[in-house]
Amino acid sequence: GLLERRRCLYLRTGRACCQMVEVLLAALILVCSSVSCGSAGGYTGLPALGGIYYYQYGGAYSGFSGADGERAQQLDQRFYLLKLPIARAAMAVAGCLLVFPCVLILVGVLRVPWHFPAWLLIECTLYIVIAVGTVPALYYFLHSLLSVYNSAVCKEREQLYQSKGYQGFWCSLHGAEIAAGLLGCLAAMAYLLSAGLAVRDYRTVHEQKQKPLQL
């Protein structure tokens, strides 16, 4: 079969499996980050979505009228602009984390670590750096979101919607943002595991290089 071919044997190794898990985690973080960004439309845009917001909140926000409707739209837009830089940064980081293991899978399929064993040490170093860097990145992500939710804009927006009987506009982390944080923690653990596997594979390749007649 395909996996029996020489170049594809790498896909059956533990390091490749761990890298594919990293791809999946990065893709999920990217999705959760995009959900966190939300919609820019606010009061006028939600009916156009035709999704859960439209049906859950009664179409075109029928409870608002006049000045309240304009104020709701302004608060939605300001709240969106506050969250936008955080969401974009999270999506950019998730995109980089998605590309990184894909490149390493390609490198493994091309058997670069066999021809250049020192690459495995470089790979190990990169994984450790990323795993350590994930901790302050998650702190910045969650801390920035909490700052937005504690802002006067969010508090006024929450009170305005509650006064009209609408739910779901609380100033707290929602499921996608919490999921992104948990997935980031899992990704950091996967990076450390990949670093350990890279060191193990380096030793294996080094030993095999020392005994070419037994290959």
Of residues 205, 215, 211, 197, the one with CA closest to residue 16: 197
Note the pLDDT tens digit of each residue in 114-166: 888 899 999 999 999 999 999 999 999 999 999 999 999 999 988 888 887 77
pTM over 0.85? The answer is: no
Q: Once rounded to an integer, what is the mean pLDDT over residues 32-54?
A: 53
Average pLDDT of the chain is 81
Of the candidates 85, 53, 1, which has an alpha carbon nearest to the alpha carbon of residue 161?
53
The whole-number pLDDT of residue 51 equals 39
Question: Mean pLDDT over residues 3-29, rounded?
Answer: 83
Instruction: Convert the pLDDT of each residue in 178-199 to its tens digit.
Output: 999 999 999 999 999 999 999 9
Q: Rounded to an integer, what distance in angstroms lies between the CA atom of residue 124 and that of residue 211?
A: 24
Cα angle at 205 between 194 and 130, to 5 degrees? 20
Q: Does position 175 have pLDDT exceeding 90, yes or no?
A: no
Distance of alpha carbon 180 from alpha carbon 213, whole angstroms? 49
Longest dimension (CA), the chain: 85
Q: How confident is the model at residue 171 (pLDDT cuts 50, 70, 90)?
A: confident
Give the pLDDT band of residue 40 (cuts 50, 70, 90): very low
Per-residue pLDDT averaged across 38-59, rounded?
42
Give the pLDDT band (50/70/90) at residue 6.
low
Give residue 7's pLDDT: 61
